[in-house]
Amino acid sequence: MKWLSLFLLTLLPTLAVAQDDPLPSWNDGPAKQSIIDFVTKVTTEGSEDFVPKYDRIATFDNDGTLWCEAPLPLQVVYVLYELKRRVATEPKLAENEMVKAALDGDFKKLLAGTHYDGLMEILAITHSGLTTDQYDQNVRNWIKIFKDKRFGYNLPGMTYQPMQELLKYLRANGFQTFIVSGGGADFMRVFTHRVYGIPPNQVVGSNALTKFELIDGQPTLTKTMDQFFVDDKAGKPVGIWQFIGRKPIAAFGNSDGDQAMLEYVTIGNKYPSFGLIVHHTDAVRAYAYDKDPPSSGKLITALEAAPKYGWTVVSMKDDWKTIFVGDK
């Protein structure tokens, strides 16, 4: 009995640390500390930095911030899968010049011109002209078979464990967490609740209008490309205003596409605010890139601006104990 007590006593410090640490996949250091300091001060009642729960809004970029975007953003992987699946039975589609370019991996052709006509065409082919129910089902079917080529993980496995902990930590402290991403809103909404605990109405993304009709007496929403809106760069604060209608107090991103959002949230905020950039520095456990990314995620000007505005820069290599959620 005495031995058991002593044994339990030696365990206590470990248990206390494990219990108290809301971010176990983060290494101790200035990045982790800056997060904890911010959350502590805005949730300490009576402090001059206290922010009422109602106004604790945090916005997260998705690709490269919450999950992997290399070598291709996962929505592009979905588009390629869909095109390949459909050309097998749709010969007219197989002859489309941009579909061919996509299936040949000719991204230069798809991204040519100032309006990315090729990319828009394959987006339109895979993201419009079908009902919201059918689109939802298509994405679900793809999720079921998806495995990352390099890591072998499924879709939830490609999310970052430290960021999952951060989402939960913020929510446990009364924050509402939103996604504000260049990715398609309808695409992300298929899985965000299951994968991140974020419901569809807290997902802001690129979007276009649907068309409502009663077809054979059944209400139907068909996806179109009308009023296509790109929720990236200056579009991010625009999307925040349109969907959330208030200025957040914290924003998390990984590229120059997040700079406007970080500026909007952290400059001239009536509350204390927090900005964070995930810097991809780990070529061994993930990917290393900034100014010359494998595809999306260019990071130059936002990284330069970080010290000026006090944004925390996270080095994936140094600050994260674990990177991917992996196969759980």
Binding site for its own copies (CB under 8 A): 54, 132, 176, 178, 185-186, 189, 193, 199-203, 207, 209-214, 217-219, 221, 227, 229, 234-235, 237-238, 241-246, 260, 263-264, 267-268
Distance between start and end Cα atoms, the chain: 37
Of 32, 51, 56, 64, the one binding Ca ion (CB under 5 A) is 64
Near Ca ion by CB under 5 A, which window of 57-65, 76-84, 127-135, 315-323?
Answer: 57-65
Between the CA of residue 286 and those of 22, 174, 283, what are the distances in Å?
Answer: 23, 31, 5
- We find the least distance from the C-beta atom of residue 147 to its own copies, in angstroms, to be 27
Q: Which of residues 248-277 bind Ca ion (CB under 5 A)?
A: 254-255
Is 63 a binding residue for Ca ion by CB under 5 A? The answer is yes
CB contact set of 322 (below 8 Å; sequence gap of 6+):
25, 161, 162
Minimum distance from residue 139 beta carbon to its own copies (Å): 13
Single-letter amino acid, residue 4: L
Q: Which residue is nearest to Ca ion (CB)?
A: 64
* 130 Cβ neighbours under 8 A, 6+ residues apart: 138, 222, 223
Cβ closest to its own copies, residue 260 vs residue 276: 260
CB of residue 181 vs its own copies: minimum separation in angstroms? Answer: 14
CB-wise, 66 or 87, nearer to Ca ion? Answer: 66
Choose between 193 and 285: whose C-beta lies nearer to its own copies.
193
259 vs 281 by CB, closer to its own copies: 259
Q: How far is the CB of 58 from Ca ion (least distance, A)?
A: 16
The minimum distance between CB 218 and its own copies, in angstroms, equals: 5
Sequence-distant (6+) residues with CB within 8 A of 303 are 277, 279, 290, 313
Query: Are the beta carbons of 209 and 227 closer than 8 angstroms?
Result: yes
Residues in Cβ contact with 260 at an 8 Å cutoff, skipping those fewer than 6 apart: 233, 234, 235, 236, 237
Name which of Ca ion, its own copies, none residue 255 binds, using a CB cut-off of 5 to 8 Å depending on partner kind.
Answer: Ca ion
Q: Which of 138, 38, 147 is nearest to 83 (CA)?
A: 138
Q: Which amino acid is at 175?
A: F
By beta-carbon proximity to its own copies, the closer residue of 10 and 218 is 218
Distances (CA, A) of 12 to 3, 19, 28: 14, 10, 20
Q: Which residues bind Ca ion (CB under 5 A)?
A: 61, 63-64, 254-255
